[in-house]
Amino acid sequence: MKAFLFFAIGTLFADGQPVNTDWNTISARADQRQIALDFAGAERLRREALRLAESQMDKDDPRLASLLVKLAVTLNAEDKAAGAERVSHRAYSIAWNANDKRYAGLALSSLGVALIKQGHESRAEPVLRRGIVVIDEAEGKGSIDAAVLGNSLAAALTNQRQFSKAEKELAWVLPVFERTYGADDPQLVLPLTNMSTILISERRANDAEPYLHRALNIARKAHPNSMKLTALEENEAALEAVRGNYTAAARLYQQVLDEEQKLLGPRSPQMARTLTGCAYVMGQVHQDQVARQLSHRAETMSEMLP
């Protein structure tokens, strides 16, 4: 199981900047497209806002940092991680040279996400740790921007199977999310999912269950028919497998596969992980031919992943 990331960066889309220029107006429109999950529309508007801003100011003007960070967030949401990495580097350079530690930290946040998405978790870890330090200097300890960085750091550690370190990060991240948003806000789904992923991976089913069920209850109301919900349902299947309830796990995995095929299409490489888990539990219930077929599909789809 892999951990999950936030595309939005804390309070980035509600930073209270005045909308008093053409590029600011376009950037505000892009924020609305981002909130509506129209990432392609948001990217188009962000590039237009950046082009206009660059035509009106010096190439190292500190005001460019916010536009660049927001563009990097959008590119990460579109899985254009290489582009997000380049934009984040430029944003960090501008913000750091201007002594704008908030946007320097946010640039490190988007850079860390871009590195994780490219499979460079070991490179992302020091970037994200540095980002937390910089954000703490700018905003004080315990801010939501630092917590988003902490969630990304936990994801990087989880994907490297450093589960105890990842759990330690989420232990301080979750209370910040709860204090900022409330106990049942949809923003909590991802850190709760990540905590359940860690604990299931450590075969600590009883510890994982409260986090998982809490996340499921929120997601079923806020994110029906979504990949966020199917990721949680996959964790539910994995939890049953850890407990040795293979028949229940097989049923849940099949339900997840059916949902993923509806959402992604039958040949999406993103289904490889679910197919692998389903193949394992099918083998445990002696459905050997089905298990072999699922394993073959998983291997084929894994080869299609970047």
Which helix (H) or strand (E) segment holds residue 82: the answer is helix 81-97
The verdict on residue 159 lying in a domain is yes
Locate the DSSP E strands across 115-171. Answer: none
The verdict on residue 13 lying in a domain is yes
The verdict on residue 145 lying in a domain is yes
Give residue 14's pLDDT: 53
Give residue 5's pLDDT: 57
Give the pLDDT band (50/70/90) at residue 16. Answer: very low
What digits encode the pLDDT tens for the residues 203-257? 999 999 999 999 999 999 998 888 888 989 999 999 999 999 999 999 999 999 8
Give me Rg for the CA atoms of the chain.
Answer: 20
C-alpha span between 226 and 162 (Å, rounded) = 28
Q: State the average pLDDT over residues 127-135.
A: 98
C-alpha span between 160 and 277 (Å, rounded) = 19
In the predicted structure, residue 9 carries a pLDDT above the cut 50: no
C-alpha span between 32 and 304 (Å, rounded) = 33
Residue type, 136: D
Give the pLDDT band (50/70/90) at residue 261. Answer: confident
C-alpha span between 280 and 225 (Å, rounded) = 25
In the predicted structure, residue 82 carries a pLDDT above the cut 90: yes
The verdict on residue 305 lying in a domain is no
Looking at per-residue pLDDT, the higher value among 223 and 126 belongs to 126
Which own/partner contact pairs does 237-246 have at CB distance under 8 Å and 24+ positions apart?
237/277, 237/278, 237/281, 238/1, 238/200, 238/277, 239/196, 239/200, 239/205, 239/208, 239/209, 239/212, 241/277, 241/280, 241/281, 241/284, 242/200, 242/203, 242/205, 243/205, 246/281, 246/284, 246/285
Give residue 12's pLDDT: 59
The verdict on residue 95 lying in a domain is yes
Q: Are 146 and 135 in contact (CB under 8 A)?
A: yes
Determine if the pTM surpasses 0.95. Answer: no
Give the pLDDT band (50/70/90) at residue 306. Answer: low
Q: Residue 237 CB: number of other CB atoms within 10 A?
A: 26
The verdict on residue 11 lying in a domain is yes
Residue type, 95: A
The verdict on residue 82 lying in a domain is yes
Q: Residue 182 CB: number of other CB atoms within 10 A?
A: 10
Overall domain count for the chain: 1
What digits encode the pLDDT tens for the residues 70-79? 999 999 999 8
| Domain assignment of residue 170, given as a range | 1-180
CATH label of the domain that carries residue 43: 1.25.40.10
Residue type, 4: F
The region of weakest confidence among 6-10, 161-165, 269-273, 290-294 is 6-10
Give the pLDDT band (50/70/90) at residue 266. Answer: confident
* Conformational region of residue 164, where left means phi above 0, alpha means psi within -120 to 50, and beta covers everything else: alpha
The verdict on residue 242 lying in a domain is no
C-alpha span between 95 and 101 (Å, rounded) = 7
